[in-house]
């Protein structure tokens, strides 16, 4: 008999992977400041990881499978925490990525001053996500575990498992783990 996946535990594990990419973003920004040069392909891969893995894969599960249930069944405190906190921060992260992409394009087209906007948005995203993840690990997820009943939590686990299997067929988790490791080998000093 296979054991049931624990959706919240999985989300905490995904945070560890996402935080590793935040370190890559920070180091790549520092390297850009030091050298004045930008590796556009690497930044494009970082943005793709953020959008496809951190946002679509991870925030996708949060928004579609957990936060929606917290809003519906967790009471007013949960609703406030999710709609005025977590969802707003997910959106702010998307804005940073759009601005980062815009600045990269401008830089590539010869506007060298855009390096300021590249670094500002990349690093601001890392600050935002570190705070966001700490809040989820320390407050939001424990709140969900306390306030939702066992049957609902088990339902969320089942939906997370199905979500994971579907992504696994497309190779999402394996692909982005490889992308992370490749960028770490370039930007993280051992
Ligand atoms: Fe989140
Ligand atoms: Fe999260």
Average pLDDT of adjacent 10-residue blocks, the chain of 190 residues: 87 98 98 96 98 98 97 94 96 98 98 98 98 98 96 98 98 98 93
The predicted pLDDT at position 3 comes to 85
Q: Which ligand is nearest to the CA of 81?
A: 1
Q: How far is the CA of 63 from the centre of ligand 2 (A)?
A: 9
- Nearest ligand atom owner, CA of 93: 1
Distances (CA, A) of 57 to 19, 76, 102, 146: 15, 27, 23, 25
State the distance from the centre of ligand 1 to the C-alpha of 175, rounded, in angstroms. 21
Altogether, the residues listed in the chain come to a count of 190
Residue in the block written with tokens 């556009």: 40
Q: How far is the CA of 104 from the centre of ligand 2 (A)?
A: 26
Ligand nearest to the CA of 85: 1
- Tell me what pLDDT residue 148 has: 96
Ligand minimally distant from the alpha carbon of residue 64: 1
State the ligand closest to the CA atom of 86: 1
Q: What are the boundaries of each domain within the chain? A: 7-187
Q: How far is the CA of 18 from the centre of ligand 2 (A)?
A: 9
Cα dihedral 147, 152, 154, 159 sign:
negative
pLDDT value of position 1: 52
Q: Report how far residue 38's alpha carbon sits from residue 122's, in angstroms, rounded to the nearest whole number.
A: 13
Distance 127 CA to ligand 2 centre (A): 14
Q: Model-level pTM greater than 0.75?
A: yes
Which pLDDT does position 2 carry in this prediction? 65
Reduce the DSSP state of residue 49 to 3 states and report it: helix
Q: Which CATH architecture has domain 7-187?
A: Up-down Bundle (1.20)
pLDDT tens for residues 7-16? 999 999 999 9
Contact (CB, 8 A) for 183 and 122:
no
Which tokens go with 106? Answer: 């401008």
Residues 59, 135, 86: CA angle, nearest 5 degrees? 45
- pLDDT score at 189: 82
Ligand closest to 58 (CA) is: 2
């Amino acid at each position: 008999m296979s054991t049931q996946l624990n959706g919240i535990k999985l989300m905490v594990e995904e945070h560890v992977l996402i935080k590793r990419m935040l370190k890559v973003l920070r180091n790549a920004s520092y390297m850009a400041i030091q050298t004045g040069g930008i590796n556009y392909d690497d930044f494009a891969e970082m943005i793709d990881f953020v959008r496809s893995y951190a946002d679509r894969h991870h925030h996708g599960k949060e928004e579609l499978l957990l936060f929606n249930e917290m809003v519906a069944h967790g009471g007013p405190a949960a609703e406030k925490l999710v709609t005025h906190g977590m969802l707003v921060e997910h959106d702010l992260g998307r804005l940073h990525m759009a601005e980062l992409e815009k600045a990269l394009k401008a830089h590539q087209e010869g506007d060298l001053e855009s390096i300021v906007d590249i670094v500002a948005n990349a690093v601001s995203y890392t600050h935002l996500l570190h705070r966001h993840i700490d809040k989820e690990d320390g407050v939001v997820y424990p709140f969900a575990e306390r306030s939702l009943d066992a049957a609902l939590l088990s339902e969320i686990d089942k939906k997370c498992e199905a979500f994971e299997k579907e992504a696994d067929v497309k190779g999402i988790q394996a692909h982005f783990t490889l992308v992370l490791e490749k960028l770490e080998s370039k930007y993280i000093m051992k």
